[in-house]
């Protein structure tokens, strides 16, 4: 059996970032990824292939709480969900690390403060080449360095939106973007600023994803090995149950076993929980690291809604995801609880509507889909959903994931939607039309839109209420870590990837220290 110093299972925002951070240490590192490389092909940028035919959605079957099967919006590739993500790379707000009172209850505190994660946010922004402008967003937390790259410019319709918002007294800001765009010198730019970014793979590898900026740089080190199409199905422990001894993998129809001094699980929130639960043994009858019965619980994925407003003027924007608005993040006039974040989503086109069956178009019969697409201005509203013990991942008898979920904070989500709708008249848009879209979540089963999945293995100081300690080491196992979004005790209302990346760097420093390699390495 091959043995390694560190085995990392999953190569997305958490695992891919950790791999890059550990790679210069010279330690023997094995990356196990259940998916393959995402193929580079013209279809990467085809709305029809990506949004209508779901070309890159992996063929998994999960069940909802009522036992109804559905295909989740998951993407099993090197780089994980970041291959398809919108690369909006936000920091959580400083207050998100403390307890926050919401309409439906308390969003729990993290075991670490914002200050502890801050240096790693800065490092993650550098690693993932984030573009942004500090000082525009009033809710922005303090940062020890400027963004490494200037903000991505607004195109004229979005600049107009920004101006109109500012004139109405709001505080729009340039959204933090992980696209490798060099506007000062386009001949040298990796990114060509195209309309098919958010929800699409990047054909020219210019998106700051965990494949291009995590795994590939890690593989330049001869001590790092990647196995694709290698699905971890079980973790074995020693007799006393305090150490993972083997990772059992299914690859090319064969079962293989690998030993690692340290094993890091980073399969995404649902699949990490599944792996731990499926690894139950005599010492861990309820699943690994599950003495607290918290593995799989507290699943969150944001109360999100994609909406489309109709602009009086045509909206010819190509790359739309450049603007954010956090004026209602912590509340608004008449609603004292947090509402959430408003940002732009990728510009919709008529092909996407074909995939989305926009029933609401009946409300505007005079608008053809093509005309709607030309005039659409597309927003993404995110409200924090709260961790609930009953919102959880379990494993069905056939071995597939069951995802039981009841919505939380629906009132705050409704308020945020109403807030945007009430603003449209001031923003050069038809005030009577705000259509919901199914971007990222075409399926009729809402939990299928699991792009922002988190929770399920939360970290904390109390082993009775958490799965991992503050270093993201399992409370009951001496060599098992988790570094994906499953560690989140609460999710905030901004996109989760940068936080997973920053935390992976933080845990990476701890692992380097532990294996005696801290002084030898630095993320470059």
Ligand X SMILES: Cc1cc2nc3c(=O)[nH]c(=O)nc-3n(C[C@H](O)[C@H](O)[C@H](O)COP(=O)(O)OP(=O)(O)OC[C@H]3O[C@@H](n4cnc5c(N)ncnc54)[C@H](O)[C@@H]3O)c2cc1C
Distance CA 65, CA 391 (A): 9
Tokens representing 106?
Answer: 């308390």
The reply to whether 9 sits near ligand X by the rule CB under 6 A is yes
DSSP single-letter state for residue 332: B
| Contacting residue, 7, 275, 288, 395, with ligand X by CB under 6 A | 275
Cα 198 off chain centre by = 12
Nearer to ligand SF4, 192 or 517 (CB): 192
Q: Give the list of residues 6+ apart from residue 439 with CB closer than 8 angstroms, or none.
A: 198, 199, 306, 345, 346, 348, 352, 356, 378, 380
CB of 315 to ligand SF4, least distance (A): 17
* Half-sphere exposure (Cβ direction) of 272: Cα atoms closer than 13 Å: 39
Q: What's the token pair of residue 275?
A: 């792996």
Site for ligand X in 340-399 (CB under 6 A): none
* Piece of the chain touching ligand X by CB under 6 A; list 349-357, 370-378, 420-428, 489-497: 489-497
Site for ligand X in 137-176 (CB under 6 A): none
Between 267 and 373, CB nearer to ligand X: 267
Q: Which long-range contacts (CB under 8 A, 24 or more apart) does 507-510 make?
A: 507/18, 507/264, 507/471, 507/472, 507/481, 507/483, 508/17, 508/18, 508/21, 508/22, 509/21, 510/471, 510/472, 510/473
Residue 511 engages ligand X in binding (rule: CB under 6 A): no
Residues that contact ligand X, how many (by CB under 6 A): 40
Asked whether position 232 contacts ligand X by CB under 6 A, the answer is yes
Q: Which residues lie below 8 Å from residue 169, measured CB to CB, with a gap of 6+?
A: none
84 binds, among ligand SF4, ligand X, none (CB under 5 to 8 A by kind): ligand X
Nearest to 3 by CA among 31, 32, 28, 27: 28
Write the CB contacts of 27 (distance below 8 Å, at least 6 apart in sequence). 5, 6, 223, 515, 517
Least Cβ distance, residue 422 to ligand X (angstroms) = 26
- Least Cβ distance, residue 268 to ligand SF4 (angstroms): 22
Q: Which among 333, 354, 331 is positioned nearest to 341, based on CA atoms? A: 331
Task: Give the nearer residue to ligand SF4 in terms of CB position, either 318 or 363.
Answer: 318
User: Which of the choices ligand X, ligand SF4, none does residue 76 contact, using the CB cut-off of 5 to 8 A by kind?
Assistant: ligand X
Query: Taking CB within 5 to 8 Å according to partner kind, which of ligand X, ligand SF4, none is near residue 176?
Result: none
- Binding at 191: pick from ligand X, ligand SF4, none (beta carbon under 5-8 Å per type): ligand SF4
Find which of ligand SF4, ligand X, none residue 423 binds, CB within 5 to 8 Å per kind: none
Nearest to 393 by CA among 455, 331, 317: 455
Nearer to ligand SF4, 12 or 460 (CB): 12
| Closest CB 193 distance from ligand SF4, rounded Å | 5
Choosing from 268, 287, 324, 340, the residue that interacts with ligand X (CB under 6 A) is: 268
Instruction: Give which of 281, 263, 274 is closest to 486, Cα–Cα.
Output: 274
Binding-site ranges for ligand SF4 (CB under 6 A) = 179, 191-194, 196-197, 200, 202, 204, 206-207, 319
Per partner kind, with CB cut-offs from 5 to 8 A, the member of ligand SF4, ligand X, none near residue 202 is ligand SF4
**CA 95 to the chain's CA centroid:** 20
Site residues for ligand X per CB under 6 A? 9-15, 32-35, 75-76, 80-82, 84-89, 199, 231-232, 266-268, 271, 275, 440, 451-452, 484-485, 495-498, 500
């Amino acid at each position: 059996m091959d043995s390694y110093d560190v085995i990392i299972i999953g190569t997305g925002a958490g695992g891919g970032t950790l791999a890059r951070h550990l790679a210069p240490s010279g330690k023997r590192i094995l990356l196990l990824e259940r998916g393959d490389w995402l193929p580079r092909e013209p279809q990467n940028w085809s709305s029809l292939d990506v949004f209508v035919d779901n070309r890159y959605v992996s063929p998994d079957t999960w069940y909802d709480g009522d036992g109804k099967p559905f295909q989740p919006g998951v993407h099993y590739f090197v780089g994980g969900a970041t291959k398809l993500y919108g690369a909006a790379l936000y920091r959580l707000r400083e207050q998100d690390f403390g307890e926050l009172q919401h309409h439906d209850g308390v969003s729990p505190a993290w075991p670490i403060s914002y200050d502890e994660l801050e240096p790693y946010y800065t490092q993650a922004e550098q690693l993932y080449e984030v573009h942004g402008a500090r000082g525009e967003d009033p809710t922005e937390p303090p940062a020890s360095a400027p963004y490494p790259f200037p903000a991505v410019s607004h195109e004229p319709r979005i600049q107009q939106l920004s101006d109109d918002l500012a004139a109405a007294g709001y505080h729009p800001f340039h959204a933090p973007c992980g696209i490798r765009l060099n506007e000062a010198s386009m001949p040298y730019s990796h990114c060509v600023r195209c309309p098919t970014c958010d929800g699409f793979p990047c054909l020219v590898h210019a998106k700051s994803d965990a494949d291009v900026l995590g795994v590939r740089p890690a593989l330049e080190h001869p001590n790092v090995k990647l196995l694709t199409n290698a699905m971890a199905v079980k973790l074995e422990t020693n007799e006393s149950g305090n150490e993972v001894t083997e990772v059992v993998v299914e690859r090319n129809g064969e079962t293989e076993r690998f030993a690692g001094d340290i094993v890091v699980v980073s399969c995404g929130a649902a699949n990490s929980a599944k792996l731990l639960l499926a690894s139950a043994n005599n010492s861990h009858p309820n699943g690994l690291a599950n003495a607290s019965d918290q593995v799989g619980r507290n699943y969150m994925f944001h109360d999100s809604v994609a909406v489309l407003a109709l602009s009086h003027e045509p909206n010819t924007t190509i790359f739309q995801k450049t603007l954010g608005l956090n004026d209602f993040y912590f509340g608004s006039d008449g609603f004292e609880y947090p509402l959430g974040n408003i940002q732009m989503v990728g510009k919709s086109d008529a092909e996407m509507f074909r995939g989305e069956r926009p029933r609401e178009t009946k409300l505007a019969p005079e608008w053809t889909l093509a005309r709607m697409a030309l005039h659409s201005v597309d927003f993404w509203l995110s409200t924090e959903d709260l961790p609930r013990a009953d919102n959880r991942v379990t494993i069905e008898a056939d071995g597939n994931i069951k995802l039981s979920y009841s919505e939380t904070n629906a009132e705050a989500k409704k308020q945020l939607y109403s807030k945007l709708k009430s603003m449209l008249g001031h923003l050069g848009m038809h005030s009577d039309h705000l259509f919901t879209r199914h971007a990222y979540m075409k399926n009729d089963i809402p939990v299928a839109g699991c792009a922002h999945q988190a929770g399920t293995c939360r970290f904390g100081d109390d082993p009775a209420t958490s799965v991992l300690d503050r270093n993201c080491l399992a409370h009951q196992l001496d060599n098992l870590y988790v570094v994906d979004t499953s560690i989140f005790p609460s999710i905030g209302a901004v996109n989760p990837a940068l936080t997973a990346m920053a935390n992976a760097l933080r845990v990476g420093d701890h692992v380097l220290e532990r294996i005696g390699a801290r002084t030898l390495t630095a993320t470059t």
